[in-house]
Amino acid sequence: MTGHPRTARRDVRALVSTVAAVVVAVGLAGCQVASPQAAAPAVIDGGTTLADATLVDDPKGYVGPSTALLAEAAIPVPESAPTPALPATVTDMQGTEVTVTDTSRILALDVYGTTSRIVYELGLGDNLVGRDASSSFPEAADLPLVTQSGHDLNAEAILALSPTLIITDTSLGPWDVVLQMRDAGIPVVVVDSERSLENVGTIIDQVAAAVGLPDEGAALAERSAAQIDAKIAEIAAVAPQDPAEKLRVAFLYVRGQAGVYYMFGTDSGADTLITALGATDVATEIGWEGMRPLNDEGLVSAAPDVVLVMTKGLESAGGVDGLLEAIPALQSTPAGENHRIVDMSDNEILSYGPGTADVLDALAVALYAPAAPAS
């Protein structure tokens, strides 16, 4: 699997992202338990688009929480399923050479739900035989879970589906299960676990190569990049231009029942998201790197106007009031004083894939047009 040369900085980014993914997986496992027959999590959509929203006059002064809703959760797919060029031989992110000869029964698994979405957009959705807990889009609703306990891979559930190809990354575990699948003779392709605006195309290319659709992957990556660029430009046109007027935003990872509170900073994936929203990532501004346990001094000094959280995380803390009670320092920030907490589906907000432009659009509405009615 080819890619651009990796600098030392990029290696650090990948390491930080991997660690973050592990923590996310552990935290989600604590609040999301399902059975093999459980329906996919409810899709959170029904929002308006930025183009149709009514902007508020003063985003900084807006009072009250908001939920970022996708305008449409359905996945666009090709009119006809493509024919993979097989056998396909790739060298995955771990340096393992893998030859894929059969894509009729695919498992695409990661903590974000990104790889399964890519398989769908490439036109091979009918070839997916199971799903992870994060694959919450409607098309995956009837697929059996192979991560029945939160985000832990279940070897028996995987083997029962007789997959001919597994695409995954290092965000799911235990890793022994992945090795067990390889020992069972199933081709396993490990893709990049980093998620950011900078490597959306890379992830798409890696998944496409694994299923023998490199040309289709290149087209999807190009289209996704164009959509992201267009959305960033659209957001920039409505976001304040004066740096002093830009929204100051912090991304908090919350698992209230476990007492887990992290702030994401530089090279966490949240930083590029916030910047793309025309806002200031306050964690990066104060030199906060990667993801680190929250402390009162860091939060108060960051002085966010808005706090971004995952929906399930906010629920685990008891909602906005519970979050403010659990983190007293938050009450001393503009975000806390105005109850300016923006939540978005755990399975969408940091997924970074072909749907990234839609995620940016939903978050932009929540930031700049929070009173906009649902369409």
> Which H helix or E strand runs over 158?
helix 155-160
CATH classification at residue 113? 3.40.50.1980
- What is the maximum alpha-carbon separation in the chain? 60
Is the CB of residue 311 less than 8 Å from the CB of residue 340? no
Residue 354 lies in a domain: yes
- Do 39 and 136 reside in the same domain of the chain? no
Which residues have a Cβ under 8 Å from the Cβ of 319 and sit 6 or more positions away?
none
Strand partners, 106: 128, 165
Residue 82 lies in a domain: no
Residue 339 has a pLDDT of 97
Residue 150 has a pLDDT of 73
Q: Locate tokens 């939903």: which residue? A: 362
Could you tell me the pTM of the whole model? Answer: 0.88
Residues of the chain with pLDDT under 50: 2-42, 372-375
Tell me which of 156, 188, 222 is where a domain ends: 222
Residue 151 has a pLDDT of 81
Domain residue limits at 359? 8-73+235-368
- Do 199 and 277 reside in the same domain of the chain? no
Tell me which of 197, 222, 247 is where a domain ends: 222
pLDDT digits (tens, 9 = 90+) for 327-352: 999 999 999 999 999 999 998 999 99
- Do 104 and 206 reside in the same domain of the chain? yes
Residue 292 has a pLDDT of 92
pLDDT digits (tens, 9 = 90+) for 200-214: 999 999 999 999 999
Residue 117 has a pLDDT of 96
Residue 43 has a pLDDT of 52
Surface-to-core class of residue 120, CB atoms within 10 Å of its CB (0-12 exposed, 13-18 middle, 19+ buried): buried
Residue 141 has a pLDDT of 83
- Do 21 and 63 reside in the same domain of the chain? yes
Residue 83 has a pLDDT of 98
Structurally, how many domains does the chain consist of? Answer: 2
Task: Provide the Cα torsion 178, 120, 212, 129; round to 10°.
Answer: 50
Is the CB of residue 328 less than 8 Å from the CB of residue 14? no
